[in-house]
Chain A
């Protein structure tokens, strides 16, 4: 039976990577991701983890080295944040297009300027369309569990796709939390050995990432899209199995006191815990509110979102990123699109807050929900409103 220990979430990621027995870690340090890769470097240096640790000169190289490692059939892991994620941007597409199941934790951080190392989802939103499976996590336990599941999902022969596990910079990466770290035997049983079907091998020459002229390129992209969508079935299977083995249950859309609620708040990531406390307070105060949390970002859980909001009258979507000059927060835009064709759907209100590590307090969530309800009745001259900003 796994022991529950007080551990920093970043260190716990390193520990679970050790249990997973990753073969290659290629990473470049960037706040707030540093403790993850520092701990992995220690584990390799101390001989606790038999892996190649490649201290590359940039994030572009980190992801490229992971590509090479994964292509020969090695289990590759990296982590990054903010600008680092942007620097590896073009290589992210290569990883998913070549179907290489690299796992990466992203310690979410804004993009400059001004320079900020604190948390928000601007970096994650910029890599939305890179073809990776993407999961947003709420707390340290969920991060550890998600990393373990990420390898099992990505390496499944029906999937073979890279997986990003998003965790909020500082609000998660630097927290010391009580976390169940699984036993080695449990990990070995849950995660089969990685067996890439077409590895680079001099005995069986093949070409990855070949030239794709117009006569073949659209076929490759359709295959990729069908594959990513189909991966959802495997994600659900994995989380179901994880729940049976470890007793912690995960879903693409998580619910908190949302059953029958007239007004729903939708969040992603670690701020969902404060949001849950705010929902408790509002319910105590007699308000008809509930919370849903989007956990699986890609492939997008259309059915689960439609099911979750079908009886609500108002849906307030909190984004921790701005789509400048656009229709609203990026998550809200997707929710609107997912619900547009429904005959019965709630009024959808876009709220942006919590940028660059700015906390949203319980009172802050109350304000967001209160104003959302107001806007649902009166309308607003703005496409979306930004909360928690001094006027």
Chain B
């Protein structure tokens, strides 16, 4: 928000565009939803067959295929919902508690 890009904790009410309109397309990608997470997915590449179902089911769209062709969640966005682990047909994804 605002013409001057500041971190969200630095933006003042005067920096906002009228009606808090967001004028920078795609700026939602700056929002770190990974901070909401209380648990995280761990991918076991020994079990994964690279089918990509986790990539399809992830509601956050944050699972990416790496150069090694394995799928990995982007932890900047992953909210730890566990849908990938539930859907994985090879049980290759385990959900573990985040350490404090």
Contacts and interface: CB of A to CB of B under 8 A. Distances in A.
Contacts of A209: 19
A203 to B, nearest CB: 11
B21 A198 contact: yes
Contacts of B30: none
A100 interface: yes
B13 A198 contact: no
Interface string A209-228: 11110011011101100100
Contact of A198 (B11, B12, B23): B23
B13 A222 contact: yes
Contacts of B23: 198, 206
B8 A210 contact: no
Q: How large is the interface on A (under 10, 10 to 19, 20 to 34, 35 or more residues)?
A: 20 to 34
A197 B20 CA distance: 13
B48 to A, nearest CB: 33
Interface string A65-108: 00000000000000000000000000000000111100000000
Given A215-B9, A216-B11, A97 B19 contact: yes
Contacts of A207: 21-22, 28
A205 interface: yes
A130 to B, nearest CB: 14
A105 to B, nearest CB: 23
Contact of A100 (B1, B13, B19): B19
Contacts of B28: 207, 210-211
B69 interface: no
B13 A220 contact: yes
Nearest to A99: B19
A interface secondary structure, majority: loop
Nearest to B7: A215
Nearest to B27: A207
B22 A216 contact: no
A70 to B, nearest CB: 11
Interface in B50-67: none
A277 interface: no
Contacts of A212: 20
Contact of B25 (A205, A218, A220, A223): A205
B16 interface: yes
A185 to B, nearest CB: 31
A208 interface: yes
A160 interface: yes
B21 A219 contact: no
Point out which of B1, B11, B13, B23 has the most chain A C-beta atoms below 10 A from its C-beta.
B13
A305 B13 CA distance: 29
A198 B1 contact: no
Nearest to B24: A206
Contact of B20 (A160, A220, A226): A220
A243 B25 CA distance: 44
Interface string B7-51: 011011111111111110100100000000000000000000000
Of the candidates B9, B14, B15, B19, the one having the most CB atoms from chain A within 10 angstroms of its own CB is B19
Interface of A: 97-100, 160, 197-198, 205-212, 215-216, 218-220, 222-223, 226
Interface of B: 1, 8-9, 11-23, 25, 28
Given A208-B19, A220-B13, 6 more contacts: A198-B17, A210-B21, A219-B15, A222-B13, A223-B20, A226-B13
The 4 closest A-B pairs by CB, nearest first: A99-B19, A207-B22, A219-B13, A98-B19
25 contacts: A98-B21, A160-B18, A197-B18, A198-B17, A198-B18, A198-B21, A205-B25, A206-B25, A208-B19, A208-B22, A209-B19, A210-B20, A210-B22, A215-B8, A216-B1, A216-B11, A218-B13, A219-B12, A219-B13, A219-B16, A219-B20, A223-B13, A223-B14, A223-B16, A223-B20
